[in-house]
Structure 1
C-alpha cells in the first residue's frame, strides 16, 4: 500500500508540474550591466575607450578639459573612422569655472566652386550615387576639424602642454594600430559597396578586399604621416604643404571641388552660445548653424509645462 501511495503521489506531482508549466508567469530578463565610471575631479567620455583614455592621461599631465577634448578628438580620428575624422568638422561648447562660456564652430565649408544646383542633374532632379551630396568627392566640404581643435588649444587650453603632446598619442595609435572590435570590423564590411569604389578607401578600410576581422590589428600609416605633419606644423600641416597638396590633387583627379585655396582660406569661427532655462536651471547650448541647440531649448521649454513625474518620467 505504501509503494502504491508513493507511486500515486509521484504521478500526481508529475501531472501538477506539467500543468504548472503551461500557466503564464512572469519571466525576469536580466540585461548585461556595467558599473558606471566614477571620478572625483574630472572625467572623459567619448565613443571609444582608447580615445577617452588618452584624454584622461592628458589631464593627469596637468592639461585642462579643453586639452583633453582636443587629444580625445584627434584619437577618435584614428579609432572612430565612421564619424570622428580629420576630413570633417564639428562644434565645441565650453563652460569655464567662472561661468563664462565659449562656442567654436569648425564645421565644413562649401568649396568656392560649389553652386546651389551642384547636386541636381539636367532635369533638376537630385543626383544619386557618385556626384551626390552623400557619396563621392563632391560630397566633401572643406574640413574644419584640425583648425577648430588648434583654435581651442591656443585660446582655451591650459598652457601647460605643448601641441605635440596632444597629437602624438593619436599619431602613435595610427602608426602602431589597435585591435578591431566586432562592431567596427563588421561595420567596415557593411560599407563595402561604397568603400570599394575608391582604391585608397578599399586599401585602408577593406584590407585590399580581404576584409578585416574582429581582433585584427588595424594600422593606418598614411593617417599617422598626416598626424605627424599636424604635430610638427600645427593646422598649417593640414591646410598647407604636403597634406593640402595631396588633398587638392586627389580632388582634381576625381572631379572634386576642393582646391589649395579653399584649404588655405578655411577659418573656424567663435559664436555666442545660446542660453535658456528649464525648471530653474540655466541651459547653455550651441547656436546656429548647429540646429541641435535650438531644438534642445525649444523641446525643454515645451516639456516644462507638463508634470512629467505624474506621467512616469
Structure 2
C-alpha cells in the first residue's frame, strides 16, 4: 500500500522548493528588488515609456516606503549604469561626515573608543545621499518627469499597503523591545496599537516628505523646510548635521572600475566603494589558477576562494578610502593582472596563508543593506546598492518627516593608528574627516559581453557583500550557472581580519570542512551570506531572466 503521507509531504516539499526558486522571464524589461511592490513600481515606469534610470528612481523611492530596514532617503549608496551601446558610468551618493566631525570624535579622554558611540548614537548619522544620487542620475540619464517617478512611492505611503509577515515581525520587535522611541512608533496605527499582519499600513508623514521632494527635486531635501527640520532635530538631540552640511552635499559621477575575466567585461564601483577594486583583484587572482578545472564546492575550490579573498581584503584595508581625500590610491596597480600574478606567487595550494594584523586590516559595513537590479527594453542596465548601515539604521528620525536616519559614521576607522586581529582597523585612508565619504563594501556590478549586459548583480550583507557578489559572478561566467542557481549556491566569506572563514551551514560537505581545517583554515558555519538580486540576459533569445534570493521574504523579480 502506498504511503500517501510521504507522497504528500514530498509534493509539499517540491511546491515549497519551487516557490523559493521561482523563475521570472521577460522580453521588455525587469526589476528585481527586496520588495515586490517596489519592483512593480519600477516596471510600471518601464511600461509608461521610462528607461532603466527612471525605473531605478521609482524603485529606490518605493523601497524607502516598503523596505524601511534598508530602503531609504536617509542613507546613501552607489549606482552602476551601462547604457545600450554606451560608456559605463557610476553615481556615488555615499553619505558624508558632517563638518563638525573629527578623527577622534568617538574616543574618550584616554583615546579609547567609547563603546557603541560610532554606531548607536545620533553622532553616528552621516549626511544622507540617496535623494541627491537619484536626482543626479535622473538629471543626466532619465526620460520621464521627476515627479512622475516619485508618484508610486507617494501613493504607497499615503494610501498604504497590507503589512507583510516579515514587516510585521520587524515592527512587532521594535514595538515590544528596547528600541528607540521612533521605531517603537514606526508601525503603529492612529489608536496607538501595532499594525497587524495583513492590515493596511500608512505613512502619511513620509508621504508629505516625498511630495515635497517630488515638487522641489534635490533642493526639496537639502534646502528649505526639510533641511531646516533636520537641522532642528539634530540640534535638539545632540546631533552634528546642519543646514550647511545638507546644502553642501552633492552626489558625484565617477568612472567605473573596469576589469576583465574570461572574455567578459566587469563594471563596478570605484572608491569610496571598495567593491570594484577588491572584486577585480580577486577575479584576476582566480584567472591564474585555471579554476575551470577545479570542481565547484570542492576543497581545492574553497581553498582558492579563501586565499583570493584574503589577499583582496588585505589590499582593501591598506589602500582604499574616499578618493577626494586619498589622491594617490594605486587603483591601476591593485586591479592589474600583474598585481594578481605577484599575489599568486605565494599561494600554496595545500596550506592556508596567515593574516598578519601588523600590516593590513579591514574597515567594514553594517549588516542591513539592499540591492536592486534593473534592465529596460533597449538593453540599458542599472545596478544599485544602498543602505542605512545597520537594520533600520540609527533607529532615529523626526516624526514629522517620517524617515529613518543612517548610522554610517561607524564605517570610518574610529581609532586612528590602531589595527587589531579582531578586525578593528586604524589605517589612514579611512579615518574620519569633515565632508569625507566613509569606505564601503557595497558592490553593485554589471557584467557585459561584446558591449551587451549579460548579468546585473548585487547584494546586501555588510562586510560580506564583495565576496557574495564575487562568487555569484564567478558561478555564472565560469561555472555556467543560471542566475537563480548562482544566487542560491554555497557562499563563503573571508575578510583577511579576523582570520576566519564563514560558510553557509548545510551547503558545504562536512568532509570538505574537515579538509580545510587540516590545511589551517578556521571554519565557522553561519545561516546565510548575502541576499542577492540578479538579472541575466540571453542575447540569442532576447530574454531577461531574473531571480530574487530565497532568503528575501518580500523580494521579487518582476518583468514584462
Regarding TM over 0.5, the answer is yes
Q: Is residue 180 of structure 1 aligned with residue 163 of structure 2? A: yes
CA contact (8 A) 2:259 2:280 kept: yes
CA contact (8 A) 2:123 2:240 kept: yes
Any residues of structure 2 matched to 1:281-300 within 5 Å, and which? 281-300=264-283
Residue of structure 2 in register with 1:238 after alignment: 221
Residue of structure 2 in register with 1:133 after alignment: 118
Return the match for 1:229 from 194, 212, 229: 212
Q: For 1:270-300, what per-residue CA distance to the aligned partner results, in whole angstroms no more than 9, with x for missing partners? A: 1110111111111111101001112221222
Q: Is residue 215 of structure 1 aligned with residue 215 of structure 2? A: no
What CA distance in whole angstroms lies between the structure 1 residues aligned with 2:178 and 2:219?
28
Q: Which has the higher contact order (CA 8 A, sep 6+)?
A: 2
Residue of structure 1 in register with 2:183 after alignment: 201
Structure-2 change in CA distance of 1:191 and 1:117 (3 Å): farther
Residue of structure 1 in register with 2:63 after alignment: 76
Residue of structure 2 in register with 1:146 after alignment: 131
Per the TM alignment, residue 205 of structure 1 is displaced from its structure 2 partner at its CA by 3.5
Per the TM alignment, residue 122 of structure 1 is displaced from its structure 2 partner at its CA by 2.2
Structure-2 change in CA distance of 1:157 and 1:195 (3 Å): farther
CA contact (8 A) 1:189 1:206 kept: no
Residue of structure 2 in register with 1:93 after alignment: 80
With the length of structure 1 as denominator, give the TM-score of the two structures: 0.84
Per the TM alignment, residue 309 of structure 1 is displaced from its structure 2 partner at its CA by 5.1
Q: Is residue 306 of structure 1 aligned with residue 290 of structure 2? A: yes
Residue of structure 2 in register with 1:276 after alignment: 259
CA contact (8 A) 2:175 2:194 kept: no
Q: For 1:132-167, what per-residue CA distance to the aligned partner results, in whole angstroms no more than 9, with x for missing partners? A: 121231111111100110110010112xx1111001
Structure-2 change in CA distance of 1:206 and 1:294 (3 Å): farther
What CA distance in whole angstroms lies between the structure 2 residues aligned with 1:150 and 1:125?
40
Q: Is residue 260 of structure 1 aligned with residue 260 of structure 2? A: no
With the length of structure 2 as denominator, give the TM-score of the two structures: 0.48
CA contact (8 A) 1:273 1:286 kept: yes
Structure-2 change in CA distance of 1:193 and 1:292 (3 Å): farther
Structure ranking higher in helix proportion: 1
Return the match for 1:47 from 26, 34, 40: 34
Specify every segment of 5 or more residues in structure 1 that has no aligned partner in the other structure, as ranges: 1-26
Per the TM alignment, residue 125 of structure 1 is displaced from its structure 2 partner at its CA by 2.2
What CA distance in whole angstroms lies between the structure 1 residues aligned with 2:108 and 2:177?
21
Corresponding residue pairs, total: 284
Per the TM alignment, residue 106 of structure 1 is displaced from its structure 2 partner at its CA by 0.4
Residue of structure 1 in register with 2:148 after alignment: 165
Residue of structure 2 in register with 1:19 after alignment: none
Per the TM alignment, residue 209 of structure 1 is displaced from its structure 2 partner at its CA by 7.0
Per the TM alignment, residue 193 of structure 1 is displaced from its structure 2 partner at its CA by 7.9
CA contact (8 A) 1:54 1:71 kept: yes
* Aligned-pair Cα RMSD in Å: 2.3
Q: Is residue 117 of structure 1 aligned with residue 99 of structure 2? A: no
What CA distance in whole angstroms lies between the structure 2 residues aligned with 1:268 and 1:298?
26
